[in-house]
Structure 1
Amino acid sequence: MLTRQERRFRRRRRSARPAPEALRPAESTPLLLQAAAFLAVFAAAILVNLKTLHYGFLTSWDDPTYVVDNPWIRGLSRENLIYVFTKPYFANYLPLHLVSYMVDYTLWGLNPFGYHLQSVLLNGLNAILALFVTRRLFANFLLAFLAALLFAVHPSHVEAVAWISIRKDLLSTAFLLLTVLFYHRATGSRSLGRGAYAASIGCFTLGLLSKVSIVALPLFLLVLDWFPRAGRRRIPWKAAIANKIPYALIGLVLVRINTLVQVKAKAAYAQDPIPYLMVKGHAVWNYLALLTGIPSGRPVYDTPEFASGLASVAANLAGILVLPAVLWIAHRRRWDALGLGAGWVLALLLPAILFPLVTYMADRYLYGPSLGFCWLLAAGIVAVGRRMESIRLRAGVTAILTALPLTLFAYRTIEYDRAWAGSEPLWKYAIARSKDYRVRNNLAQAMMIEKRWADAERLYRQASAVENIVSHQGLAAVYYDTHRYPEAQREIERALEIAHKHGAAYTDLTDATMEDLAEIEYTAGAIYWVQSQNQKAIEAWEAALRANPRHAGAAQWLRTARGEPAPVTTK
C-alpha cells in the first residue's frame, strides 16, 4: 500500500504530464482555413435565427416596458445616459442593457427589425468569441471550431435572441467571453500581464452592467487556474485567489445595488429549505437535459410537484450536487475538457440555482452555460476522430459525429423560433405546455390588443382561478372597454382587495409593486368617474399618488376632478 507521501508524489507527477493527445496544441492552421471557420460559425449563428428579423415586439411581455413605452431609450442623449447610469429601471440596475436600445432607437426608431437585427448580430459575435476563447483554452483549432459551431446553433439560445427584452443575456455573454480571453492572456506567463488583466476586469464590469448573473464567473477563472492547459504553469493557490479579489469586489457592489432595487420573489417553494433545494435540483436536471437539445424549450416552466418518498427527495437533491461532483471527478482523473466544461456550466448557472426566482427556471439562463456543454461534445468528437488510423477515415468520422448534434440543434432552434413570431403564437405554444395562470394572462393581454374581448375575458377568467391581481385588473379593463362598468368596478375592487391583503408584496400570486398598486388605483378612479362616483374617483386617484407620486395620469385627473387649473409648463 502506498504511503500518503507516495500518493501525493504520484498526483504531482500526473499534474505535470502534458495534455492528452486529443487536446494537445494542434499544428498551425492556415490563415485562410481559420478565416473560413470564423465565417462559417458567424453565418450559422445568423442563419438559424434569420426569421426573427421579421418579428415584431412582444406586446404582452416586457418589450413595451423596456422599449416601446420607455422614454429613456429615445436616443443617445446626455439626459438619457445620466438617467440609466444613475437610476434603476424596471427594478434593475443594468444600464448597458438600456444603452443598447438607445443605439437601436437612434438608428431605427421603433422599427422592431433593427432591434432584432442587433440581437441576431450579437449572437453571431458571441459565436465568434466562443471560437476565440475555446481555441485559447484548449489550444486545438478543430476542437474550437466544432464547439463554436455547435454553440452557434444551440436551441437554448432561442429565447435570448428572439425576445428583444432579453438582450441583456447576449450582452453579458459577450463581455464574459472577453473577460476569460483577457484573463487567460494575462496569466499566460510567469508574471501577471497588467494590461490584459485590467482589460479582463473592465470587461467583467461591463458584463455586470449588462446582467449581474455572470457574477460567479471568477469561480470559473479559479477552475481555469486549477486545470492548466497546454503546458501553462499552475498558478499557486494564494496568487489565484488574490487575483480574483477585484472581480469579487466589483461583483459584490453591483449585486448589492441590484438587490436593493429589485422586487423580491417570494415563491412558495422558497419558504422551506428542503422543498427549495428539491426544486433547484430538479431545475438542474432539466437544464442538463435541455443542453442535449432533445427536449423542446418553453417560455414558461411550471414549478414541479414532487411525489412523496425518500427516492423523490434523493433524486432531486442530487441535482444540486451533480455538477460539483463531476468537477471533482474530472480534477482527480485529469479529464481537463470535462473539468472545464462542468466548471463553466456550474459557475454560470450558480446564480439561477442559488436564488429564488419568479420563474424557477428559464431557457435564457442557459445561453452562456451552453458553451461548456459544447466543449464536451467537441472534445469527445475530436478524441474519437483521432482514434481513426487514416486521415480520410478520421475526417469522415469527425464530420458524421459533428453533423448529428449540429442537425438536431439547428432543427430545434428553427422549430422553436416560430413560437416567438408574436404574442399570440408564443402564448398559444405555452398554454399547450403549461398550467401557469400567467400564461393565460399574457395571451389574454394579446387578445385585448386585438380587441378580441370575448377571448380575453375567457382567458382572464380561467387565470383568476388562482388568486392574482393581474387577472382581475385585466377583466376590469375588458369590461371598461366594452362599457360594462358595474362589472369593471367589481373586478378592479377585487384586484385592490388582493393587493391590500398581501401588502402589495411581490410574490408568485400577487405581483404588485407600489407602481402597480398606483396603476390599479388609477384604473379604479377612471371606473368610478365614468359612473359619476366622483368622490370615490378622487379618493382612488389620491391613493394612486400616495403609492406613486410621479403618476402623471392620476395627478392630471385629480386636478380635473377638483376643478383645478392645469399647471403651467415652460420649455
Structure 2
Amino acid sequence: MLFAIIVVTPLIVYLNSLANTFVYDDYLTITNNHFIREWRYLTALFSKKYAAVSNELTYRPIVTLSYFIDYALWQLRPAGYHFVNNIIHTVNVVLLYFLAYRLFGNRIVSLISCLMFSIHPVFSEVVNAISYREDLLSATFLLIAFIFFTKSSDKTASVRNLSAFYAVSLIAYFFALLSKEMAITFPLLAFAHDFIFKRKEIAHRQSAGMLSRSVYFLKGRFVTHYIGYIIISGIYLFLRFKVFKNPGEVIFYPEKSIFINALMMTKVVGYYLKLFFIPMPLNADYVVPVAYSVFDGAFIISLIVICCTMILVKKSCFSGKWVFAFTWFFVTMLPVLNIAPLLNIMAERYLYIPGIGFTLFAGLVFNKGFQCFYRKRHYFLSFVVIICFLLIWGTIQRNGIWLNEFTFSTETIRRSPKSYRIYNGLGYFYYNNGLIDKAIQAFEGSIQAMPTHPKAHSNLGAAYSLKGMQDKAIEELQFAVRLREQYPEAHNNLGLLYKRKGMPDMAINEYVAALKTNPYYADAHNNLGSVYIDTGRYEEALSELEKALKIRSNFALAHYNMAVIYFKKGQVEDAYNKLLEAYKLDPGNADVHLSLGVVYKDHFHDTAKALFHIKESLRINPQHKQAEEMRKVIRELTP
C-alpha cells in the first residue's frame, strides 16, 4: 500500500502533462535536431561534434542519449517524451524514500519527504520541460550514488559487498555528472554526511587516544572513500572544460561585476527560499533586476530571509538529521549561485536537486509537529492535507501552462514582461503557424526588451523575408551577425536572401561563414550546393550536396538538388532515382512532383503518371511560378 501511494501520486499529479506539446528549448534539442533521428550519430556523444549534435551548451551526453532513445520510440510524438519525464520523476520519488529511510530510519518522515517531492509546484518546470531532463537524470544518478555511498559504510555487510556498493556509487556519480554538472557537489555531501552522522564513531576514536576526532576519522575516510569521488570529479572537469568545451560558451557576470553578482545572487537565494514555503508566483523566465547597492530593497529583504532561515536552522536542529537536510540544500545550490557565470542566473529547475534537502526538512517538520500536536492530531493532519491539496492544485495548474508554446509564452510574458527570450519564443510560435505579422510584433518585443539579442534580430529578418521585405530582412540579419559573428543560422539566412537578389558570390560567402562555425550544418551545405548549381559549378555542387546527405541522409531537398544536377548533365536515370528518393521523403514537395511529371512525360512517355504528378504539384502549390505551364500541359495530356 505504501509503495503504491509513493508511485501513483506523482503519476496522477503530472497526468495532464501528457497532453503537452514541445515548447521553448525543445525546438532546439528535439524537434529541429535531426541528429537524434539517426543512430549513426551516437558516437558523436563522445567526440568534438557533441555541441553541434546536441544543441546543449555544456557536455551532457547521458541526456542526449535519452533523446536518441526517445526518438526511436516516439519519433516526434510529445506524449512519449512527457511520459518518460514523468517516469524518471517517479523513480526519483521512490529513490528519495529509500534515501530518507536510510538517513532517518523513520517511514513517516520518508513518506512525507517523497510525497512533498512528488507534489510541490516548484519542481514542475523540470518535469514539464523535456529539455530540462538533465536535472531529472542527474538527480536519479545522484540519489543512487548517495544511497550506495551510505551502504558502502554498512559494517554489517561483507567486504565484497562493500566494494560493490562503492563501485556502484562511483559509477552512478559519474553518470550524474554526465547528465548535469550540478552533481559536482557530491563529495561535499559525502563529507557532510560523515561529519554529521558519524560523530559517535569519531568520539570513540578520540577516546582511544588517536588524533583529534575530526582529523583522524576524515583522514581515514579520504583514503577509503572520498578519493574515488575526487578522481571522478577531476576526470569530469577535464572532459567538461578541456576536451568537450563548447566554443560558444562565453558568459559574463551581470554588469561584468563580481560585487553586483553577489548582490543579485543574494536576492535570488532569498526568493528561492520563499518559493519553497510560498510557491507563487512561479515563472519560467525570471528577470532579476540589477542591484547596484547594498541598500537595494529586494537585496535587504532577501538578506533578512536568509538570516531568518539560518536562525531557524540553528533553533530547529534537534539532531544531525535537521542539519543534514539544510546542508543538502545549501551545498547543492553552490553550482547555481553564479560563482561560475551562468546563462540564466535564476531558474526553478535549479531547485530540483537542492529541493531534496527541503523535502527532507519537510518530512522532519511533519514528524515533529505530529508528536507535538498529538492530542490535536486531527486538526494537525487536516491542516497538512489542506496544504497538500493546495500544492497538488498548484502543480496541476503549472502543468497546464506548459500545454503549448502559446500558453507557455503568454503566461510567462505576463509574469516577466521584460523577458526577451520568451518574446522570441512566442514569435517563433507565430512564425511556424504562418502568423507572420504577430511574429514580427513578438520579435520586435524581444528586441525592445534586449536590443542586443542576436536571435531576435535573426528571426525578425526571417519574418521580414516572408513578408517580401527583403532589404529590411537583410538589415536585421546583418545586425545579428555583427552581434554574434559565429551565428551559422543567421549567415545561412543571409545567404538565402542574397541568392534571391541575384548576388551568388555574397550568398556563397555567407554559406561558407555558416559552415566555418558549424561544419555539420546540413542546410548550409545544401544551400551552398544550390548556389553552385545556379553558377554552373556542378562538381562543387555535388560535393556539397553529398556532405549534406552524409550529415542528414533523409534530407529530401538535397536529393532533389542532386536530381537537378543530373538533369543538367543529361543523366536522366540518375536524376529519376534521386527524385524518387526525394518523393519518398517529402511527398508534399510541389517541385519534386513537377520534375517527376516531366520525367514521366518526356523520358518514360507515361502519360498517366505524368498527369498524376503534375496535377499533384499544382494542387500542393496553386501559385507555383510554372502554374500556367502546368495547366497547359494538363490540358494537352488529358484525353
One-letter amino acid of the structure 2 residue matched with residue 528 of structure 1? Y
Counterpart pick for 1:450 among 421, 428, 433: 433
Counterpart pick for 2:371 among 365, 386, 391: 386
One-letter amino acid of the structure 1 residue matched with residue 26 of structure 2? D
Asked if 2 retains the 8 angstrom alpha-carbon contact of 1:330 and 1:339, the reply is: no
Counterpart pick for 1:210 among 165, 175, 179: 179
TM superposition shift of 1:486: 1.9
TM superposition shift of 1:100: 1.3
Asked if 2 retains the 8 angstrom alpha-carbon contact of 1:293 and 1:409, the reply is: no
1:47-58 equivalence runs, <5 A: 47-58=12-23
User: Matched residue of 1:563: which SS?
Assistant: coil
One-letter amino acid of the structure 2 residue matched with residue 540 of structure 1? E
Asked if 1 retains the 8 angstrom alpha-carbon contact of 2:135 and 2:352, the reply is: yes
Question: Once structures 1 and 2 are overlaid, which stretch shifts more, 81-90 or 338-347?
Answer: 81-90
Asked if 2 retains the 8 angstrom alpha-carbon contact of 1:154 and 1:293, the reply is: no
Counterpart pick for 2:474 among 485, 489, 495: 489
Asked if 2 retains the 8 angstrom alpha-carbon contact of 1:218 and 1:248, the reply is: yes
TM superposition shift of 1:472: 1.6
Distance 2:187 2:403 in 1: 37
Alignment-derived partner of residue 508 in structure 1: none
One-letter amino acid of the structure 1 residue matched with residue 105 of structure 2? A
Compute the TM-score of the two structures, normalised by the length of structure 2: 0.75
1:239 aligns with 2:220: yes
Asked if 1 retains the 8 angstrom alpha-carbon contact of 2:504 and 2:531, the reply is: no
Asked if 1 retains the 8 angstrom alpha-carbon contact of 2:196 and 2:320, the reply is: yes
Asked if 1 retains the 8 angstrom alpha-carbon contact of 2:121 and 2:279, the reply is: no
Compute the TM-score of the two structures, normalised by the length of structure 1: 0.83
Query: After superposition, what is the alpha-carbon deviation per residue over 1:349-407, rounded to whole angstroms, capped at 9, x for unaligned?
Result: 110012221111101011121121112122112112123556xx54x355234314322
Counterpart pick for 1:126 among 75, 88, 92: 92
Asked if 2 retains the 8 angstrom alpha-carbon contact of 1:281 and 1:319, the reply is: no
User: Matched residue of 2:415: which SS?
Assistant: coil
Alignment-derived partner of residue 583 in structure 2: none
1:80 aligns with 2:41: yes
Counterpart pick for 1:196 among 158, 165, 173: 165
One-letter amino acid of the structure 1 residue matched with residue 233 of structure 2? G
1:169-568 equivalence runs, <5 A: 169-189=135-155, 193-228=162-197, 236-242=217-223, 243-260=225-242, 261-262=245-246, 263-267=248-252, 269=254, 271-306=256-291, 308-310=293-295, 315=300, 318=303, 329=314, 335-353=319-337, 354-388=339-373, 393-394=376-377, 396-397=378-379, 399-434=381-416, 435-465=418-448, 466-499=451-484, 504=485, 514=486, 517-554=487-524, 555-565=528-538, 566-567=541-542
Distance 1:238 1:74, change over 3 A: same
Distance 1:338 1:543 in 2: 57
**Consecutive unaligned residues in structure 2, runs of 5 or more:** 204-213, 554-639
Distance 1:410 1:255, change over 3 A: farther
Distance 1:237 1:81 in 2: 41
Asked if 2 retains the 8 angstrom alpha-carbon contact of 1:525 and 1:537, the reply is: yes
One-letter amino acid of the structure 2 residue matched with residue 222 of structure 1? F
| Structure holding more helix per residue | 2
Alignment-derived partner of residue 621 in structure 2: none
**Consecutive unaligned residues in structure 1, runs of 5 or more:** 1-35, 505-513
Distance 1:265 1:48, change over 3 A: farther
Alignment-derived partner of residue 567 in structure 2: none
TM superposition shift of 1:41: 1.7
Alignment-derived partner of residue 609 in structure 2: none
Distance 2:394 2:44 in 1: 40
Aligned length, in residue pairs = 513
Distance 1:389 1:48, change over 3 A: closer
Distance 1:74 1:132, change over 3 A: same
Asked if 1 retains the 8 angstrom alpha-carbon contact of 2:122 and 2:279, the reply is: no
TM superposition shift of 1:203: 0.8
Asked if 1 retains the 8 angstrom alpha-carbon contact of 2:436 and 2:463, the reply is: yes
Asked if 1 retains the 8 angstrom alpha-carbon contact of 2:11 and 2:86, the reply is: yes
User: Matched residue of 1:209: which SS?
Assistant: helix
One-letter amino acid of the structure 2 residue matched with residue 442 of structure 1? G
Distance 1:520 1:291 in 2: 41
Asked if 1 retains the 8 angstrom alpha-carbon contact of 2:373 and 2:380, the reply is: no
1:95 aligns with 2:61: yes
TM superposition shift of 1:294: 3.0
User: Matched residue of 1:98: which SS?
Assistant: helix
One-letter amino acid of the structure 2 residue matched with residue 520 of structure 1? A
Alignment-derived partner of residue 16 in structure 1: none
Distance 1:494 1:311, change over 3 A: closer
How many percent identity over aligned positions? 24
One-letter amino acid of the structure 2 residue matched with residue 547 of structure 1? T
One-letter amino acid of the structure 2 residue matched with residue 296 of structure 1? P
Bigger relative contact order (CA 8 A; separation at least 6): 1
Distance 2:475 2:505 in 1: 17
One-letter amino acid of the structure 2 residue matched with residue 250 of structure 1? I
Distance 1:148 1:483, change over 3 A: same
1:147-158 equivalence runs, <5 A: 147-158=113-124
Alignment-derived partner of residue 6 in structure 2: 41
Question: Once structures 1 and 2 are overlaid, which stretch shifts more, 215-224 or 380-389?
Answer: 380-389
Distance 2:275 2:237 in 1: 28
Query: After superposition, what is the alpha-carbon deviation per residue over 1:416-445, rounded to whole angstroms, capped at 9, x for unaligned?
Result: 111100111111011111112222111111
Question: Once structures 1 and 2 are overlaid, which stretch shifts more, 90-99 or 438-447?
Answer: 90-99
Distance 1:157 1:313, change over 3 A: closer
TM superposition shift of 1:312: 5.0
Distance 1:451 1:238 in 2: 65
